[in-house]
């Protein structure tokens, strides 16, 4: 079993603070091509330092004798490293300072002009700006999928233009893979699964040109697992997520481990495994770094609240909702607040608080209609239908059914989903709506949103 130098030793090596004997031991280890330890020293050693070793043939097996290595004088090399490190740190700080203003400049222009800027203006061709675009794409995610897609496309374009001389060809391979995985995920969110498949295939090819960092590979697999979940290929999704958890634990990345567990919990809930979803979400939440991704915590808790409620554990769901309410408000985006009111309405309905539930769900329905989110309006309407069915309110059921079809005809609900809603309308007219029918229709709408070719009765 290979013994790796401790991270503290590697960081000291990069700063030139170790004794000669320790330096020699670490150099010998790095020259074997160890991707894990090179990653630790990547921020302190210039590309040219390790690249020169590779070019000399050290990383391909021609390491020379231990006596030759021990006879080398590293003092001039470390002086060069420190000078190069200073230059790179200064350049990186300059990139960090410039990137937010560049993003604001870009956002003020139409997309075609944005594309022209990032592909023609050298100011936009920096590592930090590329990373910022990818972060922004993930941030917009479900708030504005079209904007998330645009940002991901710009990020992939910038990644392709990054200088190999400045950043190193392998590192550019890493960030390019990350960019294309982010773009593929944005396509997934918009339910364009074919484009998503092409994006992930390209990301995986680019990974092969990268540093071999297992965490970069895990990041791509994490996003690809979401695609497999959206395709309802749950076994494949779970295998990918288990691999991510394994890599994250081996590399000591608890936050990534938490993200993978949360993703697995979310998909377990969609697959109908509510208790497993509750367990995994709770475990994942304990691992994540809340400060770095507050939206992840809110999303995880939201789904945990939902599955607790659907499992009949309303008091627990309500307690967690009240604990999480300040986080929803702190993030402040409209879709999160709509989701908060929606889950509040579902809990109130489960507790038999009919008037509160109806008021909350009607308000959410209005917000979703305004946002033109057809499937969500349909699902919300069926939650209201369930409420009316349990109270025997046939007149309200008929009114709801009459309102549904005109709304959906101008929204994003496809033909098979429309057919299912017509079934509901006809049943309401004949006063034959049952809780079983409402649950059947809700389950179908959730499935056909992710599998557009699904036929209504085929899903049952």
Tens-place pLDDT, residues 173-226: 999 999 999 999 999 988 788 999 999 999 999 999 999 999 999 999 999 999
Write the DSSP symbol of residue 5.
P
Mean pLDDT over all residues of the chain? Answer: 81
Residue 85: inside a domain: no
Residue 364: inside a domain: no
Query: 76 burial class (0-12, 13-18, 19+ CB within 10 angstroms)?
Result: exposed
Query: 208 burial class (0-12, 13-18, 19+ CB within 10 angstroms)?
Result: exposed
Residue 351: inside a domain: no
Angle 334-350/314-331 helices, nearest 10 degrees?
160
Q: Which two tokens stand for residue 399?
A: 């009114």
Residue 318: inside a domain: no
Query: What percent of the chain clears pLDDT 90, i.e. is strictly above it?
Result: 42
Angle 20-30/7-14 helices, nearest 10 degrees?
100
Residue 114: inside a domain: no
Judged against a pLDDT cut of 60, whether residue 413 lies above it is answered with no
Judged against a pLDDT cut of 60, whether residue 51 lies above it is answered with no
CB 217 within 8 A of CB 207: yes
Q: Which of 72, 95, 123 is the last residue of a domain?
A: 72
pLDDT in tens, 94-147: 888 888 899 999 888 888 888 888 888 999 999 999 999 999 999 888 678 889
Q: Which two tokens stand for residue 254?
A: 């608890």
Residue 27: inside a domain: yes
Give pLDDT, residue 55: 42
Q: Which of 72, 101, 120 is the last residue of a domain?
A: 72
Q: What is the mean pLDDT of residues 243-253?
A: 95
Give pLDDT, residue 167: 87
What is the number of residues in the chain?
A: 460
CB 92 within 8 A of CB 43: no
Residue 244: inside a domain: no
Q: How confident is the model at residue 65 (pLDDT cuts 50, 70, 90)?
A: very low
Give pLDDT, residue 57: 40
DSSP percent split of the chain into helix, strand, coil, nearest 5:
80, 0, 20
pLDDT in tens, 333-354: 778 889 899 999 999 998 889 9
pLDDT in tens, 270-320: 888 999 999 999 999 999 998 888 889 999 999 999 999 989 999 999 999
Separation between Cα atoms, residue 87 and residue 160, nearest integer Å: 24
Give pLDDT, residue 196: 95
Query: 113 burial class (0-12, 13-18, 19+ CB within 10 angstroms)?
Result: exposed
Separation between Cα atoms, residue 45 and residue 190, nearest integer Å: 41
Separation between Cα atoms, residue 200 and residue 190, nearest integer Å: 15
pLDDT in tens, 147-172: 999 999 999 999 999 999 888 899 99
- Compare 21 and 220 and report the one with higher pLDDT: 220
Q: Which of 42, 57, 72 is the last residue of a domain?
A: 72
CB 346 within 8 A of CB 306: yes
Domain limits at 53?
7-72
Ramachandran category for residue 65: left, alpha or beta (phi over 0 → left; psi -120 to 50 → alpha): beta
Chain-centroid distance of CA 12 in Å reads: 34
Report the range of poorest mean pLDDT among 60-69, 240-249, 391-400: 60-69
Residue appearing with tokens 């002086």: 79
- Compare 429 and 28 and report the one with higher pLDDT: 429
**Which of 187, 191, 116 is CA-nearest to residue 158?**
116
pLDDT in tens, 345-378: 999 998 889 999 999 999 998 888 887 777 788 8
Contacts for 335 with CB less than 8 Å, ≥ 6 apart: 142, 143, 371
Residue 215: inside a domain: no
Please state the domain count of the chain. Answer: 2
């Amino acid at each position: 079993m290979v013994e790796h130098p401790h991270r503290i030793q590697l960081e000291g090596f990069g700063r030139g603070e170790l004794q000669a004997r320790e330096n020699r031991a670490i150099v010998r280890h790095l020259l074997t091509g160890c991707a894990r330890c090179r990653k630790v020293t990547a921020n302190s050693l210039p590309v040219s330092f390790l690249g020169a070793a590779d070019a000399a043939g050290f990383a391909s097996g021609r390491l020379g004798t231990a006596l030759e290595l021990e006879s080398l004088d590293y003092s001039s090399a470390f002086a060069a490293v420190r000078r190069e490190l200073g230059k790179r740190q200064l350049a990186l700080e300059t990139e960090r300072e410039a990137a937010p203003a560049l993003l604001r400049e870009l956002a003020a222009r139409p997309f075609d002009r944005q594309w022209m800027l990032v592909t023609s203006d050298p100011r936009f061709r920096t590592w930090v700006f590329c990373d910022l675009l990818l972060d922004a794409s993930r941030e917009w995610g479900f708030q504005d999928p079209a904007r998330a897609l645009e940002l991901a496309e710009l990020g992939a374009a910038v990644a392709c233009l990054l200088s190999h001389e400045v950043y190193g060809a392998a590192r550019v391979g890493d960030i390019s893979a990350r960019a294309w995985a982010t773009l593929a995920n944005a396509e997934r969110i918009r339910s364009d699964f074919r484009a998503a498949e092409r994006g992930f295939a390209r990301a995986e090819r680019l990974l092969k040109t990268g540093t071999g960092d297992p965490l970069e590979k895990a990041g791509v697999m994490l996003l690809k697992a979401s695609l497999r979940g959206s395709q309802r290929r749950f076994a494949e999704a779970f295998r990918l997520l288990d691999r991510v958890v394994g890599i994250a634990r081996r590399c000591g990345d608890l936050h990534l481990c938490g993200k993978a567990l949360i993703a697995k919990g979310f998909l377990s809930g969609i697959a109908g495994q509510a208790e497993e979803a509750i367990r995994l979400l709770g475990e994942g939440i304990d691992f994540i770094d809340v400060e770095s991704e507050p939206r992840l915590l809110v999303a995880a808790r939201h789904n945990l609240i939902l599955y607790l409620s659907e499992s009949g554990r309303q008091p627990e769901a309500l307690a967690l909702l009240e604990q999480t309410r300040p986080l929803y408000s702190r993030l402040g985006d409209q879709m999160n607040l709509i989701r908060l009111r929606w889950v509040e309405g579902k809990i109130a309905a489960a507790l038999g608080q009919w008037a509160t539930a109806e008021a909350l769900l009607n308000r959410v329905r209005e917000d979703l209609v305004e946002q033109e989110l057809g499937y969500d309006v349909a699902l919300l309407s069926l939650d209201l239908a369930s409420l009316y069915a349990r109270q025997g309110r046939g007149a309200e059921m008929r009114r709801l059914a009459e309102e549904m079809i005109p709304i959906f005809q101008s929204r994003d609900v496809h033909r098979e989903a429309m057919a299912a809603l017509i079934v509901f309308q006809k049943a309401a007219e004949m006063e034959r709506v049952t809780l079983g029918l409402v649950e059947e229709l809700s389950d179908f709408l959730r499935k056909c949103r992710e599998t557009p070719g699904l036929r209504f009765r085929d899903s049952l």
